[in-house]
Amino acid sequence: MGKTRYHHGELRNALLDAAEELVREQGSVGWSLREASARVGVSPSAAYHHFASRDALVGALSARVRARLGERMSDAAARAHDAGADAHRGLVAAGRAYVRWAMEDLAVARLTLGFGGLDAAETGVPHPHDVIDAELDRLVAIGALDAARREGADFVVWAAVHGLAGLLADGLLILDGPEAADLQTERLMRAVLTGLTQETAPPGGWPVAHSAHTRRRAARHGDGPPG
């Protein structure tokens, strides 16, 4: 096979594209960095200049896909805000985008839902968690959610929508098409938001939740150690 010449950044993106194709064809296991290299027509040694291992390539792919998901959620929320005055519309739309993505690209969704990977914020677009945060902050700003109930609410919403997406990706929950998924997501999101507006915290307060992403975000902002 003749070797294709790539500029530095082009080869990295070509390897990511090849890895994404392999995930769709074979799943997240069963292929190697050597196979991804062969697919773009370069030697494994060339690929190692960008990725020290197959896991590093998979992690970078997961971050890239997660960044696309964050952008998709953010765009969906923005369109929803333009479409009507329903206070919860933006968060519902972001949740729908998350679940639709899982249904439309199951192999890649399984990879991304199950791999910690790198921080999507490094790509310059919002992490999916950041979109949820922004929508909840907006609800507080317009008086649709009490500020006292805002703390930790992002993890409640994320657990709900991520759980639904994961069940669909794993085939443990079956819905009759994307429209049914939209309705199921809306029901879930509105039920969670209704619960948040009515909840009463226990005497010691709710547990403080963290994720790898929120720890990295706090470290970037000088609010705490990296996770």
**Phi-psi sector, 161: left (phi>0), alpha (psi -120 to 50), beta:** alpha
Q: Got the DSSP string for 89-140?
A: HHHHHHHHHHHHHHHHSHHHHHHHHH---S-GGGGTS--HHHHHHHHHHHHH
Residue 220: per-residue pLDDT? 82
What's the pTM?
0.85
Give the highest mean pLDDT range of 58-67, 133-142, 165-174.
Answer: 133-142
Coil, strand or helix at 36: helix
Per-residue pLDDT, averaged over 74-95, amounts to: 92
* pLDDT grade for 5, boundaries at 50, 70 and 90: low
List, for residues 179-201, the tens digit of each pLDDT value: 999 999 999 999 999 999 999 99
List, for residues 30-63, the tens digit of each pLDDT value: 899 999 999 999 999 999 999 999 999 999 999 8
How many alpha carbons lie under 13 Å from residue 168 in its C-beta half-sphere?
A: 27
List, for residues 204-215, the tens digit of each pLDDT value: 999 999 988 888
Q: When comparing pLDDT for 99 and 212, which is higher? A: 99
**Does the pLDDT of residue 85 top 60, yes or no?**
yes
Per-residue pLDDT, averaged over 131-150, amounts to: 95
Q: How far apart are CA 150 and CA 70, in angstroms?
A: 21
**Does the pLDDT of residue 107 top 90, yes or no?**
no
Residue 124: per-residue pLDDT? 65
* pLDDT grade for 121, boundaries at 50, 70 and 90: very low
Q: Which amino acid is residue 193, in one-letter code? A: L
CATH topology classification for 59-220: Tetracycline Repressor; domain 2 (1.10.357)
Report the candidate in 133, 113, 106, 91 with the shortest Cα–Cα distance to residue 221.
Answer: 133
Q: Which amino acid is residue 10, in one-letter code? A: E
Domain 1-52 CATH (choose: 1.10.10, 1.10.3210, 1.10.3470, 2.60.40):
1.10.10
* Annotated domain spans of the chain: 1-52, 59-220
**Does the pLDDT of residue 19 top 80, yes or no?**
yes
Residue 18: per-residue pLDDT? 96
